[in-house]
Structure 1
Amino acid sequence: MRKLTVWTTDGFSRNLVLRTYTNPAGLLHAEDWLSRESTALTMLSGSGVPTPELVAVDPTAAHCEYPSLLMTHLPGWTVLTDEGVDERVPLLALQLVEIHAAPAHIRPREYQVLTTADTVKVPAQADATVWAAAIDVLRRPVTTYDGRVLHRDFQPGNVLFDVSQNGAHRITGVVDWAGASWGPTDVDVAHCSTNLALLHGPQWGSRFASTYEEAGGILAESSRARQYWRVRDALACSEEVQLWAAPWREAGRIDLTPCLVEDRLEAYISLLMNAHGQ
């Protein structure tokens, strides 16, 4: 990701952002990811959701050295501190409600989930009984749902804030639409809940879902279905929990050691299971 400042001969300047996939792993999925992102940015333009504007895209590197997407630069920055989380969570919830309400003029690809009961990695110190029950949740059939536009990676690291001198927060942008999909709102809510639980503590994961509903969001009718999506996302995190918080530490949250994040994941899964009488 590069921020570009483009100058014209008459002195006019414009800030843009260039996303380029250069490593082998990224190149395998670049065409799909760039196509999804360009479609999402086009679809959401004028919707009220603060997204970058698409300038140009070359998903197959027909014109660029590597697959690339050029978009406008948005003001603001990510805020990952514990301080002010009680103010940011309602803003995140309301923003996600607005994303899910966006009209799908161009429907994104159906959502995908890769985690199965066999791919979950159980931590050595985990409560075996709780984790076995959680893994059994993944074996349930997927419930029916009314599809909505999904961000698919909606979490504090992909939301930009402006913070005023008096400490008030305001969302200025939602970025990284490479995973844009179509599916149940519970998928996005569950993913943000897991991230909040690891960033700020397990209770924030549970609180986000209720705050989303208070903001007007609609989740699955049954508590069993809601549990399915939240447990699924939390267990998906288990496969790479040691790497999960690395970007957060690079951004200044050095307190989020792999051990602490793993402990929070275990506590969050226990909370999800106990909340439903498991």
Structure 2
Amino acid sequence: MTLAWVNQYLDVGERVVGVETLHGGMTAEMRKLTIGTRDGVTRHLVLRSFVDPYYLENAKDWLNREAGALTLLTETDVLAPGLVAVDPTAAQCEYPSLLMTHLAGRSVLDDEGAEARVPLLARQLVAIHALRPAERPQEFRTLTTAESVVIPEGGDATAWAGAIDVIREPAPSYEGRFLHRDFQPGNVLFDVAPSDPARTRITGVVDWAQPSWGPADLDVAHCCTNLALLHDPSWGLWFAQTYEKAGGSLAAARNERLYWLVRDAMACSEEVALWAKAWQEAGRTDLTTSILERRLDTYVTGLMNALG
């Protein structure tokens, strides 16, 4: 069914000649499709399908939002896939799916070269937050509560109790920005020059399933948490500083910055095992759940010491 649907959007004489599973995502299955053309060359498309029953209930909303975001981004300087087709209710596909163009580059999760990539991430996020769409996406949502936080075994009880108290408070006021809502190294593609890291560049940003309107701090906080767990807890606050150096604007008050940083870290506490699984599938086999839990504990403790 899905192949027949894809075929509707190919040019005359084209056909799917290869399928490659892409790893590193948590919510959807991603496949790179190799398309054979009439003149003997090939091109690629990417198929995103929601298969896991846990995520199916959100598939229609997420796919429609992604389709809208990809359409919007074609008129901006932010590099993103182009929308080819979407079937958000699985009317023609086996599962709710979206077909998009394939971007050059790859996500890079290695520690090596991270110092060169992080400033690029910061500048890219500043560019995303500078977008002013004619129609705003829906307001951001956060689902984590004080009761849903999962404290890592052996975690600093005092730091975590303080962090949980932080998110019991009402969200601070903020100036709204266009948000990606899952901006992190796994959703950014790079063209890496191993012999000259200074030539490394971003070729695109992917996974636009939850574009939102909200505080820039929320996107920054999510990338901070990812970098802290992916590389080292110290990278968290460093990314926030790098974002500001790139021209981004964050909450002025320490307690407001702390709120957003802690809120994202608390949300991560519920999904550490899922993060570990996704990163291991993407090649970071060294990142076990226990290692990520220890890094998250160190990161949360560091946030409370620095800003609490």
Residue 31 of structure 1 aligns with which residue? 60
Residue 208 of structure 1 aligns with which residue? 239
CA distance in 2: counterparts of 1:250 and 1:21, whole angstroms: 18
Residue 51 of structure 2 aligns with which residue? 22
Q: Tell me how far 1:164 sits from its aligned partner.
A: 1.6
Residue 46 of structure 1 aligns with which residue? 75
2:245 is equivalent to residue 245 of structure 1: no
Q: The residue matched to 2:234 in structure 1 has which SS? A: helix
Q: How do 1:153-232 residues align onto structure 2 when only pairs under 5 Å count?
A: 153-168=182-197, 169-232=200-263
In 1, are the aligned partners of 2:152 and 2:294 still within 8 Å (CA)?
A: no
Residue 34 of structure 2 aligns with which residue? 5
CA distance in 2: counterparts of 1:198 and 1:24, whole angstroms: 27
2:99 is equivalent to residue 99 of structure 1: no
2:297 is equivalent to residue 266 of structure 1: yes
Report the aligned-residue RMSD.
1.4
Q: Tell me how far 1:165 sits from its aligned partner.
A: 4.2
In 2, are the aligned partners of 1:19 and 1:68 still within 8 Å (CA)?
A: yes
Task: Give the partner amino acid of 1:161.
Answer: F
CA distance in 1: counterparts of 2:37 and 2:228, whole angstroms: 46
Task: Give the partner amino acid of 2:305.
Answer: N
Residue 80 of structure 1 aligns with which residue? 109
How many residue pairs match? The answer is: 277
- Unaligned segments of structure 1, at least 5 residues: none
2:171 is equivalent to residue 150 of structure 1: no
Q: Tell me how far 1:68 sits from its aligned partner.
A: 1.3
Q: Tell me how far 1:215 sits from its aligned partner.
A: 0.2
CA distance in 2: counterparts of 1:7 and 1:104, whole angstroms: 36
Q: Tell me how far 1:265 sits from its aligned partner.
A: 0.4
Task: Give the partner amino acid of 2:298.
Answer: A
In 2, are the aligned partners of 1:22 and 1:66 still within 8 Å (CA)?
A: yes
In 1, are the aligned partners of 2:66 and 2:207 still within 8 Å (CA)?
A: yes
Give deviations 1:72-128, integer Å, cap 9, x for gaps. 000111111111111111000000000111121232111110111111111231121
CA distance in 1: counterparts of 2:90 and 2:196, whole angstroms: 43
Q: The residue matched to 2:51 in structure 1 has which SS? A: coil
Q: Tell me how far 1:7 sits from its aligned partner.
A: 3.0
Q: The residue matched to 1:70 in structure 2 has which SS? A: strand
Residue 134 of structure 1 aligns with which residue? 163
CA distance in 2: counterparts of 1:124 and 1:87, whole angstroms: 34
CA distance in 1: counterparts of 2:270 and 2:159, whole angstroms: 17
CA distance in 2: counterparts of 1:67 and 1:127, whole angstroms: 42
CA distance in 1: counterparts of 2:298 and 2:80, whole angstroms: 34
TM-score (norm 2): 0.86
Q: Tell me how far 1:228 sits from its aligned partner.
A: 0.1
In 2, are the aligned partners of 1:56 and 1:69 still within 8 Å (CA)?
A: yes
Indicate the percent of aligned positions where both proteins have the same amino acid: 62
Residue 145 of structure 2 aligns with which residue? 116
In 2, are the aligned partners of 1:40 and 1:180 still within 8 Å (CA)?
A: yes
Structure 1 range deviating more: 226-235 or 53-62 = 53-62
CA distance in 1: counterparts of 2:277 and 2:53, whole angstroms: 21
In 2, are the aligned partners of 1:78 and 1:156 still within 8 Å (CA)?
A: yes
Task: Give the partner amino acid of 2:175.
Answer: D
Q: The residue matched to 1:2 in structure 2 has which SS? A: strand
Structure 1 range deviating more: 42-51 or 90-99 = 42-51
Q: Tell me how far 1:62 sits from its aligned partner.
A: 2.5
CA distance in 2: counterparts of 1:7 and 1:251, whole angstroms: 27
TM-score (norm 1): 0.95
Residue 3 of structure 2 aligns with which residue? none
Q: Tell me how far 1:13 sits from its aligned partner.
A: 3.7
